[in-house]
Chain A
Amino acid sequence: MNWDYTYQYRDNFIYNLHPGIVLLLCTNFLIWCLIFSHPFYLASLLVANGMLMISAGHLQTWYLYLKFSLFMSLVIIIINLLFSSAGTTTLLELTLSGEYILKVSWEALIYGLGMSLRLMTAMSSFALFTLAVNPDQMLTWAGRFGTHTALLATSSLRIIPMMIEDYHRITEVQKCRGVRFNHRSIRQRIKSYWPLMGSMLLASLERSMIMAESLYNRGYGLKPRTYTQLRRWQTGDYLVLCSTLIGIVVACLAQWKHWSSYSYYPVLNRVISVEILPALVVLLLFALPAIINWGWKKWPQLRSTT
């Protein structure tokens, strides 16, 4: 197992946050990256998320997530370049088989990059969620709102690390059976990966069944329940909660004023300075835990207060 993908306690501010706060931060990143379309805002979300990842001590893992996202991004960019004809600034024009004209536009390229930023932010927020949230504390905390909610939250915490682990293990086994995954032809590559996807899906389904049986056998869902690991709210949690809520207000304002909206087609919108400032504020507010963590490491007395 590659431990880098799973939760492992580290002594820093982000790891000591309440699981609910980290959940709020991550869902916040995920929701806003879906709402925002302005590349500047998407970039600010990605930078803030990256700051949290680095500050939590996961630069290398973040890099691995980004590397995976980059591959997907490349696919998005290429598909967008080939099939989107809404852009007006033509970079390249090719006539294929007499009739079909392939037009590659500047707008399609930037749109593809914007979508890549969106994907990378979403992946980074998943990474932060799986790495920095203690699954035990999450199950206990979320269990108060209903067993199904808790199960959903815990399952989503485990799903990415487990799927990564499954992927590595099953790929190894299938390679040993002579399956080649590094074909040059995309068709052949898809053909090789198809059974792998099947195996991963079956493994996930079976694991869900086994886990559900284990939970059932251990009396999960019985009421009333007691808690031994209930995490209490601390000053640091309130501080991050406030900054995130203010960030959300700023983001709502930016969205209401259409500063965070961006039109890629038919021509790219011009970026005006009034749009940039709220993006920077959002970045600072959402990245506040990373800044506090810096102080947390530097001044030990801050630890006792947060």
Chain B
Amino acid sequence: MAAIKVDNLTYQYANSSFPALQDINLEVQAGEFVLLAGASGSGKTSLLRAINGAIPHFYAGFIKGEVYLDNQAVSSLDHRQRVQSAGLLHQDADSQLVMNSVTAEIAFGMENMGLPVKLIRRKIAELTSALNLNQDNHKRTADLSAGQKQRVALAALLAMQPQILLLDEPTSQVDPVAAEEILTIIRRLNEDTGITIIMAEQRLERCLHLADRYLVMENGQIKGDFKKADDMARWAIENNCPFVPPVPRVFALVGQPSIPTTVKEGRRLLRELDTFSKDVSDHKHGSTQLKNHQICHPEEPQATKDLFRKSEILHLPLTRFFAIPQNDTLKSTFSIVTNASSVSQPSCSDYIVEMNKVSYTWPHGSKALRQVDFKLPAQAITALIGDNGAGKTTLLKHIIGLIKPDRGSVKVMGRNTLQLDVEDLAAEVGYLSQQPDDYLFLPTVREEISFSRHKLGRGTAETEKQLIQRLELQEYLECNPRDLSTGQRQRVALASILLSKPEILLLDEPTRGMDYNLKAKLGEILKEFVQTGVTILLVSHDSEFIAEYADEVVLMSAGKIIAQGTTAEMLDGSIYYAPQVNRLFNGLHEQVLTVEQGVKLLKRYRLGVNDWN
């Protein structure tokens, strides 16, 4: 018997001109873990709402078809039955927390269900232990980090013992460490309790291995339904669909028959590939010194040089990774590389922002920045990483002048922000905050996008048109931005900032809610901006995006800058911030960060294909 049965469901929101869900037919068995992939606005949230019963009981609109939970039509269930059947966890923890303290939040649903007080207290104790919330029991929910809030929201949901757990991008707003914790909890719940789970997610690299089944949504329809992740990966590659995480993508792109979905499986496969292992082994013992060295040789084919382009540009300490031959010819060849890197080292005048011993304390007393010395290299993409509350956003706000330092100085293009208003910097420094909704106040997407352009007198109608197309917003131009999905709103806010083309772009979590395809498009736009002289500083938890597009990475923790270096230096071998491809080749081959690099390396070592083009 299916735990969930969706029968020919079509739904259109009352204020919308097109259906959010179209002819959905789906059966999910009890205990299944289903991963729901799809672009922003493809109907993932609407499907979860329909299963949960919020559609049509809470959201008015046109509906056709039916959803059955344990063979009972959702429309025939009363409120209590619906709540006990399927619990929905939203992506934004803040919006779903209704109580002030952690224990009150967890108890709230159980109180509404009328459970005995003793049982409620016991369940609170159990859930806080299970979800590692013991230390936060008596805290205010407002004082928790994003990851803690999401765990509290999950605990509150589990307290009501739903038979089905619906998760709407539960890790989209948390740092990698917290995301890992949440996903581990979810996996354990599915394995230990057999609860049915449907999880919508954009960043599949974190969770592909967790699921038993994979659904791909597009324009409100289920386009693909797969039992195995490698089937989905292969289908997605064939159909040019962007929903393939880096590890399966690397293997799928080289035409590997069996496609691993996790780093662990991928590494096992790599070891099984004799040629590769032998090659690596030889490489480690120095017998392939010459071969390895040729990677950096100027006469190597262009693609080979491209593969290690980052090494050259980003002045990697190559001796760490390659056994360098000691003969003079090779030494001189190697010196070409090292000289090249020293040339690209930025000089003092190449820094567009300089922060000197900046400290800042919030009015309620907690220290946000502690003696921060930071220089932002001009005409490059720099990524700020670190856990939630590390001070990344505060640092951005210092650069735009929204926050003035308590101590120290911030100089933007040589001007001290203490003597400047935010509005004075607005034309030169563009800022995208974490909450795109704050940008949206005009009635149409078109007006919203062109607002900054008209206000600041920068950008042209032609660039506006191009940007709209590249961010795939053309079909929403006459829509009210508030009617769009979270990811679409993010793109509208982003477009309005990018259009004014400032000298410095500060982006706080720009890829939130974006699929791989849109992220790639954004990355290309940012790269083009850099080529035309724009400097970009972005805060992101998205290691894959950073690995692909950032030139420099800055790690922050507890209001301090812990480390700063090239992307390869900072991400290579990192425990939490390394991209998946780097984890795949970790210890086997270093400095491999991107899918492109991974594919080329696999082609060469695994398949013996020397066709670099």
Contact = CB atoms under 8 A, between A and B. Distances in A.
Contact of A207 (B79, B90, B95): B95
A177 B400 CA distance: 11
Contacts of A182: 421
A4 B364 contact: yes
B95 A177 contact: no
A248 B281 CA distance: 89
Interface centre among A176, A182, A219 (most CB of B within 10 A): A176
A219 B160 contact: yes
A85 B28 CA distance: 76
Interface in A190-226: 195-196, 198-199, 202-203, 206-207, 210-226
A286 B111 CA distance: 35
Contact of A173 (B98, B100, B438): B438
B130 interface: no
Nearest to B80: A222
Could you say which of A3, A169, A202, A218 has the most chain B C-beta atoms within 10 Å of its C-beta?
Answer: A218
Given A139-B99, A206-B437, A226-B116, A176 B422 contact: yes
Contacts of A140: 111
B610 interface: no
Interface residues on B, range: 35 or more
B114 A226 contact: yes
A7 interface: yes
A139 B112 CA distance: 12
Given A178-B452, A228-B107, A172 B98 contact: no
B384 interface: no
Interface in A1-45: 1-4, 6-8
A182 B423 CA distance: 10
A135 interface: yes
B95 A210 contact: yes
Interface in A202-256: 202-203, 206-207, 210-229
Given A1-B142, A198-B441, A228 B111 contact: yes
Interface in B96-121: 96-101, 104, 107-117, 120-121
Contacts of B11: none
A140 B104 CA distance: 10
Contact of A226 (B92, B111, B433, B437): B111
A139 B99 CA distance: 9
Given A169-B435, A177-B452, A223 B114 contact: yes
Contact of B112 (A2, A175, A221): A221
A183 B564 CA distance: 41
A223 B442 CA distance: 42
Interface in B121-153: 121, 140, 142
A180 interface: yes
A134 interface: yes
Contact of B80 (A3, A212, A219, A226): A219
B426 A2 contact: no
A177 B496 contact: yes
Given A172-B433, A178-B426, A228-B121, A218 B95 contact: no
B52 A202 contact: no
B431 A176 contact: yes
A170 interface: yes
Given A3-B364, A228-B111, A195 B140 contact: no
A219 B83 contact: yes
B54 A216 contact: yes
B438 A169 contact: yes
In this complex, the member of A175, A212, A217, A221 whose beta carbon has the largest number of chain B beta carbons within 10 angstroms is A217
Contact of A135 (B100, B422, B433): B100
Interface in B65-81: 79-80
A219 B402 contact: no
B363 interface: yes
Interface string B274-305: 00000000000000000000000000000000
A228 B119 CA distance: 10
B327 to A, nearest CB: 57
A170 B364 CA distance: 21
A218 B433 contact: no
Nearest to A196: B441
B423 A227 contact: no
A173 B455 contact: no
A222 B83 CA distance: 10
Nearest to B437: A203
Interface in A131-180: 134-136, 139-140, 169-170, 172-180
Given A175-B426, A224-B114, A217 B99 contact: no
Nearest to A197: B441
Contacts of A214: 90, 95-98
B439 A219 contact: no
A210 B88 CA distance: 13
Contacts of A177: 426, 439, 451-452, 455-456, 496-497
B52 to A, nearest CB: 7
Contacts of A211: 95, 98
B58 A218 contact: no
A217 B435 contact: no
A3 to B, nearest CB: 5
A178 B431 contact: no
B553 interface: no
A217 B88 CA distance: 7
Contacts of B58: 212-213, 216
Contacts of A210: 90, 92, 95-96
A179 B441 CA distance: 13
B482 interface: yes
27 contacts: A3-B363, A4-B363, A170-B438, A172-B397, A173-B438, A173-B439, A175-B421, A176-B400, A176-B429, A176-B433, A177-B451, A177-B456, A180-B423, A199-B441, A210-B92, A210-B95, A210-B96, A211-B98, A216-B54, A218-B112, A219-B79, A222-B80, A222-B114, A225-B111, A226-B115, A227-B111, A228-B121
Interface of A: 1-4, 6-8, 134-136, 139-140, 169-170, 172-180, 182, 195-196, 198-199, 202-203, 206-207, 210-229
Given A177-B439, A217-B88, A227-B111, 5 more contacts: A173-B433, A176-B426, A202-B437, A202-B482, A219-B109
Interface of B: 52, 54, 57-58, 79-80, 83, 87-88, 90, 92, 95-101, 104, 107-117, 120-121, 140, 142, 156, 160, 363-364, 397, 400, 402, 421-423, 426-427, 429-431, 433, 435, 437-442, 451-452, 455-456, 482, 496-497
